[in-house]
């Protein structure tokens, strides 16, 4: 049985250890970690979320050269992941194993469009049903490779997140030599993703997005990022070493293709940054053949995401406030060009819903109508309190005890100010500003750097309180 009081005590002592270590009080940090070990001993079966407490403490003990106590922590983790935990997860593991065998058997006979469609649906179902439950890391890695081999971009992101979740909780071997944790460590100094909003304008009225409310109230209305500031950001990004690759997303709470300067901005990135790629989300309303060709002329442009939130015309127009037939016609044209080999970039068709049944229905329609494109489903979020949503304000024990991918990103609004994460539409929860700060200085703010280095949970006292109740699956 989960012991919430013991869990709270553990977190207090563990956070004390981390604080002492950050303050270079090595002896005090060691003493606090030993207290944590003593508190954990004998209570392994009661602590369902304690892996994320112990992993950063193991890193500290390694850095202090205290192998004996590092081994004690490793033994506690092994005990926590013992018979009782294995039995609880066996059903999920069995299902994954059976599905893997199915996938391999189907692919052995050759890869046809039918096989790819089936594989897409199967992977989407796995991600929807079993995030947070699988213990079989290697099988999930194999699924990632299969999805990459067959170009299923929409599934790769979800599988990589699932792989990261598993590896962050797994305790076999040297955790900092693992593939997934190396991913986090590579991003300690330099961001994985930079989002840049060039024009705060959108022609859609999506019911799950705060833009309509912001436009109505005149919040950040029609703000434009100046070309001078854009060039300053690109110059800052040149300080990222060439061996550290990253992605630039030229969008925030807007429709990026409404900015007629966007192709020029993309050309600047293409010419000046050799270690990045560009991806762009869009509602698809402006995808004329001319605009598609402009996108295709950008060598580092790799992925276009198109938001299409229903397969039913009435529902689509109610949700998005755009003509259904126009969007479908644009995607049809894009798909024909892809099939004819006229475009080089990948296309991801996204939708937002909290209904699994609806998600499967939309995904099946997307795969059937546009088999060369990859479907991707997202849950509706409350945008840090801007939108009504029953997920906000959950008990901390109901929120994934895991890190967040947004800690490895920088988000720039059209006026140059910083946003905390994908859902900070107002820039309310961050204080940086690229007008007078280097972008890497903003990225390496103290709490965020600690969170990245120590792989803390979003429920940790190190991170802002607004993160504590966030159920976002982006890990």
Structural tokens at position 377: 């489903």
Structural tokens at position 137: 């890391």
Does the pLDDT value for residue 18 go beyond 70? Answer: yes
Q: What pLDDT, in 10s, does the model give residues 313-322?
A: 999 999 999 9
Give the DSSP per-residue string, 84-98. Answer: HHHHHHHHHHHHHHH
Query: What rounded mean pLDDT belongs to the chain?
Result: 80
Residue 389 has what pLDDT?
Answer: 58
- What residues contact 325, with CB distance under 8 A and at least 6 apart? 313
Residue 307 has what pLDDT?
Answer: 96
Does the pLDDT value for residue 475 go beyond 90? Answer: no
Q: What pLDDT, in 10s, does the model give residues 75-89?
A: 776 665 443 344 444
Beta-strand relationship, 246-249 and 418-419? unpaired
Q: Which residue has the higher pLDDT, 432 or 139?
A: 432
How far is Cα 394 from Cα 398, in angstroms, rounded to an integer?
A: 6
Residue 43 has what pLDDT?
Answer: 60
| DSSP reduced 3-state for 360 | helix
Which has the minimum average pLDDT: 45-54, 121-130, 347-356, 434-443? Answer: 45-54
Q: Which residue in this structure is represented by tokens 């755009």?
A: 322
How far is Cα 300 from Cα 344, in angstroms, rounded to an integer?
A: 10
Contact 227, 198 (CB under 8 A): no
Which has the minimum average pLDDT: 97-101, 170-174, 360-364? Answer: 170-174
User: What is the average pLDDT across 411-430?
Assistant: 95
Assessment of whether the complete model's pTM goes beyond 0.95? no
Chain center to CA of 260: 28
Residue 234 has what pLDDT?
Answer: 97
Which secondary structure element, helix H or strand E, spans residue 130, and what is its range?
helix 113-130
CB pairs under 8 A, 24+ apart, for 169-174?
169/51, 169/52, 169/402, 170/135, 170/137, 171/51, 171/55, 171/74, 171/77, 171/78, 171/81
Contact 428, 384 (CB under 8 A): yes
Helix axes 26-40, 51-63, angle to 10 degrees: 140
**Which pLDDT band holds residue 311 (cuts at 50, 70, 90)?**
very high
Residue 451 has what pLDDT?
Answer: 83
Q: What pLDDT, in 10s, does the model give residues 428-459?
A: 999 899 999 999 999 999 898 888 877 677 77
Residue 105 has what pLDDT?
Answer: 78
Does the pLDDT value for residue 110 go beyond 90? Answer: no
Q: What pLDDT, in 10s, does the model give residues 252-304?
A: 999 999 999 999 999 999 999 988 999 999 999 999 999 999 999 999 999 99
How far is Cα 76 from Cα 39, in angstroms, rounded to an integer?
A: 11
Structural tokens at position 468: 């504590």
- What residues contact 6, with CB distance under 8 A and at least 6 apart? 39, 43, 46, 47
Closest CA to 285 of 198, 377, 203, 206: 203
Q: Which residue has the higher pLDDT, 5 or 179?
A: 5
Cβ atoms within 10 Å, residue 340: 8
Closest CA to 65 of 14, 16, 30: 30
Does the pLDDT value for residue 46 go beyond 60? Answer: no
Q: In what order do the strands lie in the sheet with 418-419?
A: 374-378, 346-352, 301-307, 276-282, 246-249, 193-196, 409-412, 418-419
Cβ atoms within 10 Å, residue 283: 24
How far is Cα 113 from Cα 336, in angstroms, rounded to an integer?
A: 15
Does the pLDDT value for residue 165 go beyond 60? Answer: no
Q: What pLDDT, in 10s, does the model give residues 145-163?
A: 777 777 776 666 666 656 6
Give the DSSP per-residue string, 49-107. Answer: TTHHHHHHHHHHHHHTT-HHHHHHHHHHHHHHTSHHHHHHHHHHHHHHHHHHHHHHHHH
Chain center to CA of 290: 31
User: What is the average pLDDT across 171-177?
Assistant: 35
Give the DSSP per-residue string, 5-16. Answer: HHHHHHHHHHHH
Does the pLDDT value for residue 182 go beyond 50? Answer: no
Q: What pLDDT, in 10s, does the model give residues 367-417?
A: 899 999 988 888 888 898 888 754 444 444 446 566 788 888 999 999 999
Q: Which residue in this structure is represented by tokens 């192998």?
A: 67
How far is Cα 465 from Cα 468, in angstroms, rounded to an integer?
A: 5
């Amino acid at each position: 049985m989960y012991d919430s009081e013991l869990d709270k005590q553990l977190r207090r002592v563990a956070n004390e250890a981390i604080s002492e270590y950050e303050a270079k009080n090595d002896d005090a940090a060691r003493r606090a970690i030993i207290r944590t070990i003593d508190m954990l001993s004998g209570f392994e079966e009661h602590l369902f979320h304690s892996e994320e407490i112990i992993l950063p403490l193991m890193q500290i003990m390694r850095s202090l050269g205290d192998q004996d106590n590092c081994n004690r922590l490793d033994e506690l983790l092994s005990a926590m992941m013992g018979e009782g935990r294995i039995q609880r997860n066996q059903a999920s593991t069995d299902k994954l194993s059976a599905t893997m065998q199915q996938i391999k058997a189907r692919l052995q006979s050759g890869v046809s469009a039918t096989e790819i469609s089936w594989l897409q649906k199967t992977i989407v179902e796995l991600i929807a049903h079993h995030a947070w439950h699988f213990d079989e890391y290697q099988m999930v890695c194999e699924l990632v490779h299969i999805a990459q081999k067959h170009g299923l971009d929409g599934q790769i992101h979800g599988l990589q997140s699932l792989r990261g979740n598993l590896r962050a909780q797994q305790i076999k071997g040297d955790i900092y030599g693992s593939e997934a944790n190396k991913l986090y460590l590579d991003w300690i100094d330099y961001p994985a993703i930079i989002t840049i909003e060039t024009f705060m304008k959108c022609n859609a009225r999506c019911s799950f997005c705060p833009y309509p409310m912001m436009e109505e109230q005149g919040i950040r209305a029609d703000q434009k990022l100046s070309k001078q500031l854009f060039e300053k950001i690109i110059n800052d990004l040149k300080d990222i070493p060439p061996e550290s690759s990253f992605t630039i997303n030229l969008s925030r709470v807007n429709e990026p293709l409404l900015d007629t300067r966007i192709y020029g901005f993309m050309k600047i990135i293409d010419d000046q940054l050799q270690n990045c790629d560009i991806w762009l989300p869009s509602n698809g309303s402006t995808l004329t053949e001319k605009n598609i060709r402009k996108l295709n002329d950008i060598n580092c442009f790799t992925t276009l995401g198109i938001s299409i939130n229903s397969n039913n015309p009435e529902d689509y127009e109610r949700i998005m406030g755009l003509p259904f037939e126009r969007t479908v016609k644009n995607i049809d044209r894009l798909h024909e060009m892809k099939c004819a080999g006229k475009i080089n970039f990948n296309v991801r068709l996204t939708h937002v819903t909290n209904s699994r049944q609806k998600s499967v229905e939309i995904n099946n329609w997307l795969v059937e109508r546009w088999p060369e494109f990859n479907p991707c489903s997202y849950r509706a979020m409350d945008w840090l309190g801007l939108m009504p949503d029953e997920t906000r304000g959950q008990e901390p024990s109901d929120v994934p005890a895991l890190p967040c991918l947004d800690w490895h990103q920088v988000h720039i609004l059209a006026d140059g100010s910083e946003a905390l994460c994908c859902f900070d539409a107002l820039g309310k929860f961050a204080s940086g500003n690229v007008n007078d700060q280097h972008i890497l200085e903003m990225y390496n703010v103290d709490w965020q750097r600690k969170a990245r280095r120590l792989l803390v949970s979003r429920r940790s006292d190190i991170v802002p309180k607004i993160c504590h109740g966030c159920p976002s699956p982006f890990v």
